[in-house]
Amino acid sequence: MDKSYTLESLTKVEGHARLDVEMDGKNVKKAEIAVFEPSRYFEHMVRGKPFDLVPTISQRICGICSVMHTVAAIKAVENGTGIKPSPQTVDLRRLLLHASNLHSHTAHLFFFTAPDYLGVDDVMGIARKHKKKMELAIELQKRSSDIVKQIGGRSIHPVNCRVGYFNSVPDLGEVESMTEQFREIKQLSTEAAELFLSFKYPKFENKTQYLALQEKGVYDLYEGSVSVFGGKGFTVPCYRKNIEEETIQRSTAKYAMYKGKPYMTGALARLNISGSRLSPSAKKLLRKHKIKVPNFSTFTNNIAQAVEMVHLCDRALEILGKYDKSGFKEEKKQVKPKAGEGVAACEAPRGTLYHHYRFSPSGKCTYANIITPTCQNVRNMEYDMQQWMPSIIKESDANVKKKLEMLIRAYDPCFSCSTHFLELKLRR
């Protein structure tokens, strides 16, 4: 018996996407994700623009990861134009990334994921029936976005973070208040992590390839080499040789694979690769709830995000500790670009984000390529659907639909930022 499911519109995700699954008895004939976000052609739009304008355009790829796009773009511009940021500038960017990650994880976990596990339809249900949890989410959102605003000048599309420097830096009083904020956020994050560790997630394991940036000795989001779980890995400038972006006939998608196979990037990949470097408080939570690391259940991505929130607070406090006596110094605001080519990556909430640019001697952008985490994860979402469908096919149509949506949502997908997707079809 042929049975097909089409989820016309995937809800509670950022952007617009559609699932298409076709079954023949227990066999999966088709498991497709179509993303129908309109093309925006960022790689074209930044060409011809001066180097300092490029990050202010690229950051508009995504509203929720605008901080990560800003940082990745700036780093790639700097690598391409021979501009070197100071250690202080790098630290401020790290703080920005951590606060923004906390903010993004909170939005995804509470607004998009929690309704599935709390028996309500959506965030309005949480607001009505789980007032305390809504308050927790709002506190976390407010405090983390306040820090992004304090350092970046604006909570979405930060303006203060420039190629080479920050226009203004936090003063000693602000260092103190941010330290206090991160302490509070850590407590709230621990509460949130306990909540997301207590949910009963569907039992589904599908070991795949996991890719994440790994920095020497720390679990951070700013830089590093690309690590492959159980494999060799590669350096960021070699991304082209390792990550294949494939263009598919009859579809408008370019999607990424590693060694010809799908892979997962994001919080679960970071946990599997750098889990041993989590802060003691984060590790304690994993032990308390008997979470296996490494972990091959896609749903554990929700847990990985929640636990990572606690870790990122510890990491932020560690960085702020370096400035609690001296404060931040005014930054030198002169930069001189050279011609060249630069690639850079950082860890966004959903995974590794690559930006790549070339510049002319006058500092004009002549080439751009950007690979977003969702572009990398979509292929693995389909792989997961193929593997999971046979064991859930007996359930009612409504249940199957709900479960598939929960699965895709566990990736925290961000379809508006997948610049290359219009529609995604599985090649047969």
Partner 1 sequence: MVRPKVAFFGMTSCKGCYFQLLLVNEKLPYLLDRMDVVDFWMLNEAPKKADKYDIAFIDGAVSNHENAELVREVREKAKFVIAFGTCACLGGIPALRNPDEKQHNAYHKMVYGKEIAIKSYPHADPVHKHIHVDCHMYGCPINEHEIIEVVRDVILGKKPVEPDYPVCVDCKKAGISCLFKEGVPCLGPVSIAGCDAPCPASKTACDGCRGPLPDANWSEEAKLLKEHGIDRKKIDMMFSKYTGEKVK
Binding mask 147-186 for partner 1 (x = CB under 8 A): --x--xxxxxx-xx-x----xx------------------
Tell me the C-alpha distance between 306 and 303, whole Å: 5
Q: What are residue 226's DSSP bridge partners?
A: 213, 234
Residue 113 touching partner 1 (CB under 8 A): no
**Binding test (CB under 8 A) with partner 1, winner from 5, 18, 22, 122:** 122
Query: Residue 171 is which amino acid?
Result: D
Q: Indicate the helix (H) or strand (E) that contains 370.
A: strand 365-371
Tell me the C-alpha distance between 354 and 332, whole Å: 27
Residue appearing with tokens 């990650």: 101
**Binding test (CB under 8 A) with partner 1, winner from 25, 50, 230, 390:** 50
Complete DSSP assignment for 22-89 = EEETTEEEEEEEEE-PPP--HHHHTTTSBTTTHHHHHGGG-SSSHHHHHHHHHHHHHHHHT----HHH
φ, ψ (nearest 5 deg) of residue 259: 50, 40
Q: From the CB of 114, what's the least distance to partner 1, in Å?
A: 12
How many angstroms separate the first and last alpha carbons of the chain? 20
Binding mask 292-331 for partner 1 (x = CB under 8 A): ----------------------------------------
Evaluated on CA atoms 394, 400, 403, 409, the torsion sign reads positive
**Binding test (CB under 8 A) with partner 1, winner from 3, 4, 6, 9:** 9
Count the residues of the shown chain that bind partner 1, applying the rule CB under 8 A: 61
Binding mask 92-111 for partner 1 (x = CB under 8 A): ---------------x---x
Give the nearer residue to partner 1 in terms of CB position, either 205 or 246.
246
**Binding test (CB under 8 A) with partner 1, winner from 21, 33, 64, 267:** 64
Q: From the CB of 38, what's the least distance to partner 1, in Å?
A: 4
Map residue 222 onto helix, strand or coil.
Answer: coil
Which residues touch 327 (CB under 8 Å, ≥6 apart)?
170, 171, 172, 175
Tell me the C-alpha distance between 58 and 365, whole Å: 12
Binding mask 10-39 for partner 1 (x = CB under 8 A): -xxxxxx-------------------xxxx
From the CB of residue 317, how many other CB atoms can be counted at a distance below 10 Å? 18
Q: From the CB of 387, what's the least distance to partner 1, in Å?
A: 25
Which range of residues in 138-146, 208-216, 220-228, 382-390 is near partner 1 by CB under 8 A? 138-146
Q: From the CB of 290, what's the least distance to partner 1, in Å?
A: 31
Residues that bind partner 1 (CB under 8 A): 9, 11-16, 36-41, 43-45, 49-50, 53, 56-57, 60-64, 66, 107, 111, 115, 121-124, 127, 134, 138, 141-142, 145, 149, 152-157, 159-160, 162, 167-168, 247, 249, 251-252, 254, 416-417, 420, 422
